[in-house]
Chain A
Amino acid sequence: MPIANKGKTILLVEDEVTLLSALRDKFSREGFTIFEAKNGQEGLNSAFANHPDLILLDIIMPVMDGMTVLKKLRAGDQWGKTVPVIILTNLNEGKKVSESLAYGTDEYLVKSDWKIEDIVKKVKEKLKIEM
């Protein structure tokens, strides 16, 4: 198990249970500590409560969508303004991409176009973890 990832925490905000568990399994095996949330509101609460090192955020979700989470996060405290956020969605629209970039997201990844392994690589890159 890669020791370097020990102690790094990731918040997964994803309403699709099968996708959530795939991400959980993969990132746990990579040695990350995982927080999970099944909708935007849960995600926002968990983010402010746990201060993860990075957030993987879906867009289309019940209760509160990912864009609203991102907005509230960036409008919140100092931590919220700077925590790296990677949008991981299947919504592939230029408008959403530019909107999320404007709110200060770090990456906009389309799930179906990305291998789970490459998502892990992106996260490590963001957290400056040696691969």
Chain B
Amino acid sequence: MHRVLERQLKRCLDKNVSVSSEWTALLELISDTYTHFDEDRTLLNRSLDLSSKEFLDNNRRLEATRVKVEDQAKSLALEVTKRTKDLNDRIAELEDVRKAMTNLLEDFEQEQKALAEAKAKDEAILVSIADGCIAVNESGEIILMNQMAQKMLGFTSQESIGRKWYEILHREDESGHPIPPDQGSILAAISTTSTSPIPTKIGIYYYVRKDNTRFPVAITIAPVMLEDKIIGAIEVFRDITKERNVDKAKTEFVSLASHQLRTPLSTISWYTEMLLTGDAGSLNEKQKKYIDEVYRSNRRMVELINALLNVSRLELGTFTIDPEPTDITNLMQSVIDEYKFRIDEKNIQFLPSFEKDIPSIQADQKLLRMIVQNLLSNAINYTPEKGTVHCTVQVIKRDSLVDNHRVNEDCIAIIISDTGYGIPQNQQDKIFNKLFRADNVREKNNEGTGLGLYIVKSILDHSGGTIWFRSEENKGTTFYVTVPLVGMKKKEGTKVLN
């Protein structure tokens, strides 16, 4: 029996009361119910206990989470404040930038306007240039053609722009042969690596107009560079008909004048020669001496006229430079042979020194010979008897020094030095002047023309060579000549020098 029921029964009932079996059964049932109730309560208690523990745990966790969240919220709030400040700063900055941009934009607009004006002005200037002016892009299409070019060629700007330059610019040489586009032209400027203008030789080119008539032109072509890149080329050309006519008249005059002058000189030369060789009977010593004077003066006159003619050809630019493979050593030797007699006659010690294996170079043999003849004859003529003349030929590498002169390309140097009268210090700057002769040699020798060195220098200037000298009076002179290893520059012309 359940203890609680037992106690309750003890309190209410007498110990000796007998209980019927029905009551016993009932009490049994009640006792079971108590027991069940106890069991259920215990169960409930336990489960309550468990729930409350769980709840507490959860509560603790929640609390922890809450603290964490609070912390986070705090730092977030801090961050937000910071960010907001930053943002405000940025906004202020951006505002400044915006202001600056607006200013810039205004400046830019002004600049653009000024630029547009300048461009219009530039274009107006280009278009109004009194020489023909044509610009092409990097593929050779015409992008600009000024009024003068249109007028000279007979093509309008509209029909030319966008077309290849060689469809508009038809070039011809003197005798009317068309010149292919790849020869010294815009094409070269577009494909060049140098930025300097490419001048073409005067009078070689003719431009053919739309109506097939033609005119001689002087042309200058330069590449157009933008940030180290070639973006096209610009050509400026000028009608040189007038200059050509003047040149022609001058050349013809010089040519005819020298012809006329030579005729009486030939007469004197041949007759005195025949007198001297006894063709008209033998002469006595005195007569021979006199006639010889006439003969030699006459020769000088002939030389002077030849030299003057050369000078005029050099100055008119009508002479030709026609390079061909040349063995300088051979050429030097043959000039030396010409002067062998004079060298021996003056008892001059002649010391040639030619470097071995001097390569053959492209040179105009006639001109090179003229250079060597002039320098060698000067050395011999202006060196006293028993003096010494050195003659050296050597290959000089680019950037090396010759007599303290830096050579800016590979070349062949011809060095002729003597132990002669020298050039007075105060006249050294005039030595290449036309008709100049130094005082000290004018006293000693009256045969020079004063044209030799002028001619030599002109030839070298035109052909790409150089010349300089070093001299001390009464000690001697050294002349240095360089000819580029790549050869002399070719030059077309109507006359050769003699």
Interface residue ranges, A against B (CB under 8 Å): 16, 18-19, 22-23, 25-26, 29, 60, 90-95, 97, 110-113, 115-117
Interface residue ranges, B against A (CB under 8 Å): 255, 258-259, 262-263, 265-267, 269-271, 273-274, 277, 279, 302, 305-306, 309, 320, 494-496, 498
Nearest CB in chain A to that of B255: its residue: A93
The distance from the CB of A13 to the nearest CB of chain B, in whole angstroms, is 15
Q: Which residues of A contact B255 (CB under 8 A)?
A: 91, 93
Nearest CB in chain A to that of B298: its residue: A112
Nearest CB in chain A to that of B267: its residue: A18
The distance from the CB of A110 to the nearest CB of chain B, in whole angstroms, is 7
Would B274 and A16 count as touching, CB distance under 8 A? no
Known A-B contacts A111-B262, A112-B302; the reply to A92 vs B498 at CB < 8 A is yes
Bound: A95/B251 CA distance, A: 13
Would A22 and B494 count as touching, CB distance under 8 A? no
Would A116 and B274 count as touching, CB distance under 8 A? yes
Known A-B contacts A90-B259, A113-B302; the reply to A95 vs B270 at CB < 8 A is no
The B interface, classified by DSSP as helix, strand, loop or mixed, is helix
Q: Which residues of A contact B271 (CB under 8 A)?
A: 18, 22
The distance from the CB of B269 to the nearest CB of chain A, in whole angstroms, is 6
The distance from the CB of A130 to the nearest CB of chain B, in whole angstroms, is 20
Would A25 and B269 count as touching, CB distance under 8 A? no
Bound: A34/B269 CA distance, A: 22
Bound: A91/B498 CA distance, A: 12
Would A110 and B494 count as touching, CB distance under 8 A? no
Would A94 and B267 count as touching, CB distance under 8 A? no
Would B498 and A110 count as touching, CB distance under 8 A? yes
Q: Which residues of B contact A22 (CB under 8 A)?
A: 267, 270-271, 274
Would B273 and A117 count as touching, CB distance under 8 A? yes
Known A-B contacts A90-B263, A112-B262, A112-B266; the reply to A95 vs B309 at CB < 8 A is no
8 nearest interchain CB pairs?
A: A94-B496, A90-B262, A111-B266, A112-B262, A116-B270, A22-B270, A18-B267, A112-B302
13 further interface pairs, Cβ-Cβ under 8 Å (given A19-B270, A90-B266, A94-B495) = A16-B267, A18-B271, A26-B274, A29-B279, A90-B259, A93-B494, A94-B496, A110-B262, A110-B498, A112-B266, A116-B269, A116-B273, A116-B274
Bound: A17/B481 CA distance, A: 46
Bound: A95/B309 CA distance, A: 15
Q: Which residues of A contact B277 (CB under 8 A)?
A: 117
Q: Which residues of A contact B266 (CB under 8 A)?
A: 19, 90, 111-112
Q: Which residues of A contact B279 (CB under 8 A)?
A: 25-26, 29
Q: Which residues of A contact B262 (CB under 8 A)?
A: 90, 92, 110-112
Q: Which residues of A contact B302 (CB under 8 A)?
A: 112-113
Q: Which residues of B contact A91 (CB under 8 A)?
A: 255, 259
The distance from the CB of A122 to the nearest CB of chain B, in whole angstroms, is 14
Nearest CB in chain B to that of A116: its residue: B270
Would B274 and A95 count as touching, CB distance under 8 A? no
Bound: A54/B255 CA distance, A: 28
Bound: A110/B267 CA distance, A: 13
Known A-B contacts A26-B279, A112-B302, A116-B274; the reply to A16 vs B263 at CB < 8 A is yes
The distance from the CB of A10 to the nearest CB of chain B, in whole angstroms, is 16
Nearest CB in chain A to that of B320: its residue: A94
Bound: A106/B410 CA distance, A: 40
Bound: A26/B496 CA distance, A: 31
The distance from the CB of A30 to the nearest CB of chain B, in whole angstroms, is 10
**Which of A94, A115, A116 has the most CB atoms of chain B within a 10 A radius of its CB?**
A94
Q: Which residues of B contact A111 (CB under 8 A)?
A: 262-263, 266, 270
The distance from the CB of A107 to the nearest CB of chain B, in whole angstroms, is 15
Q: Which residues of B contact A94 (CB under 8 A)?
A: 320, 494-496
Would A115 and B273 count as touching, CB distance under 8 A? yes
Q: Which residues of B contact A25 (CB under 8 A)?
A: 274, 279
The distance from the CB of A27 to the nearest CB of chain B, in whole angstroms, is 11
The distance from the CB of B24 to the nearest CB of chain A, in whole angstroms, is 167
The distance from the CB of B493 to the nearest CB of chain A, in whole angstroms, is 8
Nearest CB in chain A to that of B277: its residue: A117
Nearest CB in chain B to that of A23: its residue: B270
CB contact between B265 and one of A26, A60, A112 (< 8 Å): that residue:
A112
Would A115 and B269 count as touching, CB distance under 8 A? yes
Q: Which residues of A contact B496 (CB under 8 A)?
A: 93-94, 97
Bound: A113/B306 CA distance, A: 9
Bound: A115/B266 CA distance, A: 9
Nearest CB in chain A to that of B494: its residue: A95
The distance from the CB of A117 to the nearest CB of chain B, in whole angstroms, is 7
Bound: A116/B279 CA distance, A: 11
Known A-B contacts A60-B259, A112-B302; the reply to A93 vs B270 at CB < 8 A is no
Q: Which residues of B contact A112 (CB under 8 A)?
A: 262, 265-266, 269, 302, 305
Q: Which residues of B contact A97 (CB under 8 A)?
A: 496
Q: Which residues of A contact B270 (CB under 8 A)?
A: 19, 22-23, 26, 111, 115-116
Bound: A112/B41 CA distance, A: 159
Q: Which residues of B contact A113 (CB under 8 A)?
A: 302, 306, 498
Bound: A92/B302 CA distance, A: 12
The distance from the CB of B60 to the nearest CB of chain A, in whole angstroms, is 120
Would A95 and B259 count as touching, CB distance under 8 A? no
